[in-house]
Structure 1
């Protein structure tokens, strides 16, 4: 029989790769004993990146949820682990050193055993300080290699990084194949290279199932020395998530590995509970597209978990682009046309910005650059003319060093815009902040919490924590949940019923005079063009919805009522309307 392989259930990432929210504390308490009864998991992912932030957004205390979820596993001898974004810790942007250092003390006290530390750029400067702080706090630091497929991401490249992280104190290495595009043969060779040089280092493989390579990759890494495999369970396995434990166990058992048995009664119970959580409320925030695999992901390398938000962005931009094309008398684009164009543009952009592994937040930055390029090229302005500070920060080196060469055109653009490249250690650019947050806790009369966990939560997620403490987060969440339920109901109605349903919750914008409708006038707008607004567009009270040019030439701005979300456009750019005609419908903002 071959070596023993252990399994981890990535229960946090199952939800994270499917939708927006995580189960509540009471739901986690119910599922934990059942996961233990399955008898096949040596590890369970209990918290980490996004877990705590979305708990706060739902008006829940994440510290209570983490403690409650970890406790039964601690008592059963099952290791718990969390996802740690290195420089960004548990959020999408950099975190001060003193806050990061506190995180490991808090998480260890709450019952988390292992921290999986990754940098989206594989810059060891963003990982090594966390290794040191995790060791100080009594946690096991698992350093991570973010896997992708490019000319610079070779076995030698990754093995060299692993050497540096192990020398810095990493006790384990995770191969994080976040988009599932790592080629199985390369992953096998990398596993062998690390194990040959560091036979005592534990290697854990984490591969998403989106493009369909993950099962082959699991077999390759196990045959070359991997120790632990991340898995999922139904109804949240496969799709853009992870392979199911049943399939992985069966494959490895047939290959001759020593793998644990699965208590199928407990598996079915865990499956039923997870579905119950989906039906209760979590399913309203799960994008159905994330339940499907797609080979298209191999070309662009984007992680499947961001497909939902990407498709929403693509839909809005498509409306604007089609408005421009229509004005030129050119054929409009379907969503499939747009998707192919976006993937091709990502393939164009990615090497030019230095091949950053496409994982949070760099996957979002590369996708956004590509999306804006599609828009500005349609306008005739060319590429790379609409890039914000976050996109530039990746290119300039503010988050770390990208693995490939930056295209010279960005150096020219940076010089014109007076932007400077830096090779400074990213974490040295951020001042400590705990004293400021501790003062805020004191000034508000807030308890810093057991093991300073409430202080940590404020320092890690300031805005979300303040909204949680005020009760505003819960109010906002209930409004969002009702909207999601309404949208689900709306999708089941006929076009006539749907129109009535939308209009019942919206204000009609009517024309106060006869004339021609314009959303912008050619040459007047240097920002994102708005030839027509798109469904879902948000307006504040006082914002202009459109303009009507009267027969005698007067141009009258039409305000967007009290503001809200656009649910229907009735008058197209250039349409002629009579007084009282409907221009569109805007859903009123919910009362706070």
Structure 2
């Protein structure tokens, strides 16, 4: 029997690479036992990346979700791991040291075993402190090599980074092929060299399937000593996500490797349940383009998970550019024309900004510079005219050292703008922040939570956490979900038919008198604004729905009819209504 290869199910990244949101706590708790039943996973990626943030955006508590999810997996002996963006931790911009250190204590207490710690620039200064903090908190620190293909990203470059991360405390290493553009032979040789020098360090490979190289890459790294491979399951495998465990297991088994068997009955249950989650609500936020592979990604090196947002951005810029071209009497550009132009411009920009690995957030910055260049070139203004602080921050070194050399044109432009380059250690530029967030928690009377996990969420995602606590996040999310459902329905039927369908099982809540509408008379606190309820709010028969103040001063209570779920609101707080006006619709509960 050949070398033993283990599999890690990257269920979190399957969703993040496909769309916007993650399954809820109740859904994860339902599917976790099925992952165990499949019998082939040594690890499951449970959280990190955007997981915590999008939970808050959906009005859910990520702490409760992570604790419940990891507990089930732990009881079966499956290790759990999270994705950690180094200096940016679990968001898209730098995080103070004290907040980052707290993150590892919180996540370890919540049941997360391993943190996959990457830096978008492969700057060891952004990685080393976090490796230490994770280890001190009791987690297994997994260092990461962000793989890309450029003249500066050589095998020697990556071997040096591997040595630095191991010396700084990394107990494992991940080859993170985030765009799937790592060449199989290159990855195989890199794996061989690292294993040869560090035979006891566990190596894990993470490769997206977008450009089509990942299966060959998996075979090459396995042949050269890789220990663990990240895999996905249907219906979210392939496309721009990850290879499916069935195909990977079959390939390796045929090649003589010792791989675990898959309980196919359980696989089909997990597949069906994931599809159920998609059909229930998550599918409304999945970009269908992410189901397709594209060899075009090899040229630009952009991660497949960016394609959806990139195409949306491209559409807006294309409309503006075509308006300019029409005024000049020039032919309009098709979407394909624009796509090739963008890929070519990324290829132009990337070396000039120092070949940053095209991973979050630097892939976005590089793409945005290229996109803005297309617009300003069409306007006759030249390149590098429209760049925000984030883009300049990458160029100036505020997020770390770029692997290559910044071009002279950008150096001159920075000088003209009075901007200064820095080689300071990025994490030293940020003051500690936890005391300020403790003060805010105390002033609001908010509990710090078990193991300070609520304090951590506020400090990591301030805006999203405040909206979660106020209920505004849930309100916004349910409104977005309803809008997505309406848009999907509206694409198939007329507006009149859509309205009729939406209201078919709903009771109209009408104003009993002429007057002024009040949903409530104050918010949850003295400073909280009074706002309308969120779409999806449940009412029981006889519950107070709202109030109408009649012209003579009487406040009339409006009941919630037979109860049910709020599906539409037609009036805002303080609106003037007439007797008989429809205020809202409440959908009755299903009757047998």
The answer to whether TM tops 0.5 is yes
| Secondary structure of 2:316 counterpart | helix
Distance 2:169 2:364 in 1: 31
| Secondary structure of 1:45 counterpart | strand
Pair 1:77–1:439, CA change in 2 (3 A) = same
Question: 1:552: which partner in 2?
Answer: none
Residue segments in structure 1 that go unaligned for 5+ positions in a row: 506-587
Residue segments in structure 2 that go unaligned for 5+ positions in a row: 503-568, 574-592
| Secondary structure of 2:469 counterpart | helix
Question: 1:160: which partner in 2?
Answer: 160
1:260-308 residue CA offsets vs partner (Å, 9 max, x unmatched): 0000000000000000000000000000000000000000000010111
1:221-267 residue CA offsets vs partner (Å, 9 max, x unmatched): 00000000000000000001000000000000000000000000000
Question: 2:394: which partner in 1?
Answer: 394
Distance 2:301 2:146 in 1: 12
Distance 2:457 2:246 in 1: 37
CA contact (8 A) 2:46 2:80 kept: yes
- Answering whether residue 17 of structure 2 is matched by residue 17 of structure 1, we say yes
State the shift of 1:489 in Å.
1.8
Question: 2:177: which partner in 1?
Answer: 177
Equivalent residues, number? 506
Distance 2:313 2:483 in 1: 19
1:513-592 counterparts in 2 under 5 A? none
State the shift of 1:83 in Å.
0.1
Pair 1:124–1:234, CA change in 2 (3 A) = same
CA contact (8 A) 1:479 1:590 kept: no
Distance 2:291 2:305 in 1: 10
Question: 2:471: which partner in 1?
Answer: 471
1:396-426 residue CA offsets vs partner (Å, 9 max, x unmatched): 0000000011101111000000111000000
Distance 2:181 2:450 in 1: 42
1:525-579 residue CA offsets vs partner (Å, 9 max, x unmatched): xxxxxxxxxxxxxxxxxxxxxxxxxxxxxxxxxxxxxxxxxxxxxxxxxxxxxxx
State the shift of 1:188 in Å.
0.4
State the shift of 1:490 in Å.
2.8
- Answering whether residue 356 of structure 2 is matched by residue 372 of structure 1, we say no
CA contact (8 A) 1:114 1:139 kept: yes
Pair 1:416–1:332, CA change in 2 (3 A) = same
Question: 2:300: which partner in 1?
Answer: 300
1:121-158 residue CA offsets vs partner (Å, 9 max, x unmatched): 00000000010001100000000000000011011000
Pair 1:256–1:58, CA change in 2 (3 A) = same
1:168-199 residue CA offsets vs partner (Å, 9 max, x unmatched): 11000000000000000100010001000000
Distance 1:69 1:310 in 2: 32
Distance 1:501 1:114 in 2: 48
Q: Which runs of 4+ in 1 moved over 6 A?
A: 498-502
- Answering whether residue 69 of structure 2 is matched by residue 90 of structure 1, we say no
State the shift of 1:2 in Å.
1.3
| Secondary structure of 1:331 counterpart | coil
Question: 1:249: which partner in 2?
Answer: 249
| Secondary structure of 1:4 counterpart | coil
CA contact (8 A) 1:86 1:118 kept: yes
State the shift of 1:499 in Å.
11
Question: 1:406: which partner in 2?
Answer: 406
Distance 1:137 1:62 in 2: 20
State the shift of 1:58 in Å.
0.1
Question: 1:121: which partner in 2?
Answer: 121
CA contact (8 A) 1:491 1:498 kept: no
Distance 1:192 1:199 in 2: 10
State the shift of 1:500 in Å.
9.7
Question: 1:331: which partner in 2?
Answer: 331
1:328-383 residue CA offsets vs partner (Å, 9 max, x unmatched): 00000111111111111101100110110100000000000000000000001111
CA contact (8 A) 1:237 1:244 kept: yes
Question: 1:317: which partner in 2?
Answer: 317
CA contact (8 A) 2:83 2:117 kept: yes
Question: 1:428: which partner in 2?
Answer: 428
CA contact (8 A) 2:46 2:69 kept: yes
Distance 1:375 1:589 in 2: 40
State the shift of 1:501 in Å.
7.2
State the shift of 1:491 in Å.
2.8
Distance 2:486 2:323 in 1: 29
State the shift of 1:591 in Å.
5.8
CA contact (8 A) 1:31 1:273 kept: yes
Distance 1:499 1:400 in 2: 55
Distance 2:495 2:474 in 1: 28
CA contact (8 A) 1:66 1:110 kept: yes
Question: 1:31: which partner in 2?
Answer: 31
Question: 1:280: which partner in 2?
Answer: 280
State the shift of 1:37 in Å.
0.3
| Secondary structure of 1:127 counterpart | helix
- Answering whether residue 343 of structure 2 is matched by residue 340 of structure 1, we say no
1:437-495 residue CA offsets vs partner (Å, 9 max, x unmatched): 011111100000000000000000000000000000000001110111122123334xx
Q: TM-score, with normalisation over the residues of structure 1?
A: 0.84
- Answering whether residue 10 of structure 2 is matched by residue 2 of structure 1, we say no
1:190-205 counterparts in 2 under 5 A? 190-205=190-205
Distance 2:488 2:85 in 1: 33
Pair 1:337–1:476, CA change in 2 (3 A) = same
CA contact (8 A) 2:489 2:498 kept: no
Distance 1:590 1:110 in 2: 43
Distance 2:245 2:33 in 1: 17
CA contact (8 A) 2:55 2:61 kept: yes
Distance 1:310 1:75 in 2: 41
State the shift of 1:498 in Å.
6.7
Cα RMSD (Å) = 1.6
